[in-house]
Amino acid sequence: KSVAIVGCPFRGGQAKLGVDHGPIHMVEAGLEQQLRDLGWEVRFDGHHQFEQISEENDPPIGKMKNPRFVSQVCKAVASVVSDHARRGQLPVVLGGDHSLAMGTIGGTLEVYPNACVIWVDAHADINTPETTESGNIHGMPVSFLLGIAGNEPEFAWVKPALRANRLVYIGLRDVDADEKRILRENGIKAFSMHEIDRHGIGKVVELALDAVNPNRDLPIHLSFDVDALDPTVAPSTGTPVRGGLTFREGHYICEAIHETGLLIALDLMEVNPGLADAESVRKTVSVGCSLVRAALGEALL
């Protein structure tokens, strides 16, 4: 039972400074030892600096901002993640913005082609280069993974390896009009905050697993954007949206996924320590570490 912590100090998928410092704050909060205390063997090869990838001369492609930077970093992340997965290690990717999921999920699907993805987020991150309003690629990774992003030569390396019936969302509450259309057109299962209020988080997680993992026999990649949590719970993040998950609801999702025994990869994304006062940053980082521990087996009793 070994975990590989993959620190990805990357902010190219969006415009706010600081999200590239997320990984260092999580590691400095003691995540490595916390996971060892849970009985995991933990590998941490240091934060990936992507030093060989330049940010220079990277003009927009269409509306996409920093396209070459994002593409090359995600490609590097995909190979790091697939290498760890191939060795039977569980990659715990610390972001960094959510565009990195093109790399993390791309990497796990290479090793576990039948994996399902549970995407916990206030946002669907399924804009295409055409439908995006912001041009921020952290709002687009899912369209690339599904192969519905159109033909973008720079991203030709992203295999359309994710099937729509292997993806499910929990926590949605800020979905763009075009994204709503894309979700409907592709029949993608999504449990918004409305469903969570109606059914309760326990039932929603069951329904989500029923949708993508009916026999509970498929590997699970959990991609957790901390902005799924209510901003009072995780304030230090780039795109906060009111009316989010309580700490308990976020933590329960992670506990329940651990209980399946099927988790093969975890992303903890969009912690931005540069956006709030020290106490709010500490709180956000601490919540992030707690979610990782829960997904890796920390039990309350």
Q: Find the helix or strand (DSSP H, E) in which 155 lies.
A: none
Among ligand 1EE, Mn ion, none, what binds residue 21 when CB lies within 5 to 8 Å by partner kind? Mn ion
Binding residues for Mn ion, rule: CB under 5 A, are 21, 98, 121-123, 125, 225, 227, 273
What is the nearest approach in angstroms of ligand 1EE to the Cβ of residue 40?
27
Q: Is 98 a catalytic residue?
A: yes
> Comparing C-alpha atoms, which of 63, 244, 241, 204 is closest to residue 140?
63
Q: Tokens 């992030």, residue?
A: 288
Sheet with 220-225, strands from edge to edge, namely 41-44, 2-7, 89-94, 263-269, 220-225, 116-120, 167-172, 189-192
Total residues interacting with ligand 1EE, rule: CB under 6 A: 16
Two structure tokens written together for 270? 């969009």
Q: Is 45 a catalytic residue?
A: no
CA 222/CA 68 separation, integer angstroms: 26
SS3 at position 91: strand
CA 35/CA 44 separation, integer angstroms: 11
Q: Is 258 a catalytic residue?
A: no
Among Mn ion, ligand 1EE, none, what binds residue 255 when CB lies within 5 to 8 Å by partner kind? none
Q: Tokens 């509450």, residue?
A: 173
Two structure tokens written together for 66? 């920093």
What is the nearest approach in angstroms of Mn ion to the Cβ of residue 216?
26
Q: Which of residues 116-155 bind ligand 1EE (CB under 6 A)?
A: 121, 123, 125, 127, 132-134, 136, 138-139
Question: Per-residue x/- mask for ligand 1EE, residues 225 to 264, rule CB under 6 A?
Answer: x-x-----------x-------------------------
Q: Is 227 a catalytic residue?
A: yes
Q: Give me the active site residues, please.
A: 98, 121, 123, 125, 138, 225, 227, 270
Q: Which residues of this protein are in contact with ligand 1EE, per CB under 6 A?
A: 98, 121, 123, 125, 127, 132-134, 136, 138-139, 176, 225, 227, 239, 270
